[in-house]
Amino acid sequence: MNTTELRFASNRVRDIERYFLDTLEGLYPEGEVRMFVRMLFEAFLGWSHAELLSRRDETINQSDLLRFHWAAEDLKRFRPIQHIVGSCEFCGCRIEVDETTLIPRPETEEMVTRIIDHFSNKAPRRIVDLCTGSGCIAIALAKKWPEAEVWGVDVSEPALQKAQKNAAGNHVKVQFLQADILKEAAWREKLPYPVDLIVSNPPYVMEQEKRVMQRNVLDWEPAEALFVPDNDALVFYHAIADTAAACLSKEGNVVVEINEQLGDETLTVFRDLRFTGNIEKDFRGNARMAWIKR
Ligand SMILES: C[S@@+](CC[C@H](N)C(=O)[O-])C[C@H]1O[C@@H](n2cnc3c(N)ncnc32)[C@H](O)[C@@H]1O
């Protein structure tokens, strides 16, 4: 493919950015496209934002140009930028993601930040992250508290492989366990006892919510990481509450991300097992996490 076929006006950095702005117009807000360009230059060429601004009249070679071409094609099909560059940042950790793992969300990062603040005086010694996916929550907590024993549980073998790689890449020790947490108790016996903190961001989006969701999520992220049946939307919270009833220490805490429409119902699941709890809002003002105690 030559430059003309690639439809860039030239190999110059400023023309590459212009191409992205023109070709993705109407698909994404302009500010987001500029952010994509920044992330691509950093991922493909190792350029900082400052370099991108100061090297606008330089040219890049043809094979790098081809990578930008395919990135633009992918963005046209709403492939998430995190999949294109292969990773994202989460609480200061670099987390690799692909089609087998959910891309960590800012709400989840906020939950982890609040957990870290909450336990600033006394770090939990044993932590279990149920539905760990890319391992982002477990890894961020293990990085903050290197002395803690941290476990991550997920049903998905490919997600756990990514999580292992992410733990190694961030130089933390997390023990990963493959288990279907909706199945009866045997898997729980493999967890340490007692656990001081159970944390989870389980699937909680109802099937009926699909119609208002974006294509980058629906077409590219694993459905089994997101969706629950409309008629059993709290199925994972029942499993988490049962796990807490079996494994949580007397002073222990459960912190879970929740569906904003189901805050009270989620608390009821835990109250039915004699836990107490409250809901906290996220930075968008949506009821997003439940804090549970015995
Ligand atoms: C919403 S994602 C959360 C991923 C990650 N913790 C995060 O916050 O980005 C939910 C995760 O639950 C896992 N999962 C789905 N069904 C499961 C099951 N029955 N048992 C264990 N994990 C399950 C999925 O593989 C997925 O990784």
Q: How do residues 127-140 score in pLDDT, each as one tens digit?
A: 999 999 999 999 99
The pLDDT of residue 272 is above 60: yes
- Is 140 within 8 Å of 92 (Cβ atoms)? yes
- pLDDT of residue 35 exceeding 90, the answer is yes
Assess whether the C-beta atom of 136 lies below 6 angstroms from ligand 1: yes
What is the 6 CA–ligand 1 centroid distance (Å)? 39
What percent of the chain has pLDDT above 90? 92
For residues 89-128, one letter each, b for 16 or more C-beta atoms within 10 angstroms of the residue's C-beta and e for the rest, the string is: ebbebebbbbebbbbbbebbbbbbeebbeebeeebbbbbb
**207: exposed, middle or buried (Cβ count in 10 Å: 0-12, 13-18, 19+):** middle
Percent helix, strand, coil in the chain (nearest 5)?
A: 50, 20, 30
pLDDT tens by residue, 43-59: 999 999 999 999 999 99
Task: State whether the beta carbon of 259 lies less than 6 angstroms from ligand 1.
Answer: no
Contact 56, 47 (CB under 8 A): no
What are the start-end ranges of the E strands in the chain? 87-90, 93-96, 126-130, 149-154, 175-178, 195-200, 205-206, 227-228, 248-257, 276-281, 287-293
Is residue 155 within 6 Å of ligand 1 at its C-beta? yes
Domain boundaries, the chain: 3-77, 101-293
How many whole angstroms separate alpha carbon 115 and alpha carbon 157? Answer: 27
Residue nearest to ligand 1 atom 4, measured at CA: 133
For residue 83, the tally of other CB atoms under 10 A from its CB is 18
Q: What gap in Å lies between CA 225 and CA 245, rounded to an integer? A: 24
The answer on pLDDT for 5 being more than 70 is: no
Q: How far is the CA of 227 from the centre of ligand 1 (A)?
A: 10
Global pTM reads: 0.94
Q: Quote the CA–CA distance of 91 and 109 in Å, as a whole number.
A: 6
Cα of 40 vs centre of ligand 1, distance in Å, is 28
Q: What is the pLDDT of residues 200-247, one digit of tens each?
A: 999 999 999 998 998 889 999 999 999 999 999 999 999 999 999 999
CATH class for the region spanning 101-293: alpha beta
pLDDT at 3 over 60: no
**Residue 104 φ/ψ, nearest 5 degrees:** -55, 140
Using CA positions, which residue lies closest to atom 19 of ligand 1?
Answer: 180
Q: Measuring from atom 12 of ligand 1, which residue has the nearest CA? A: 131
Ligand 1 pocket residue status of 82, Cβ below 6 Å: no
Q: Is 265 or 6 the better-scoring residue by pLDDT?
A: 265
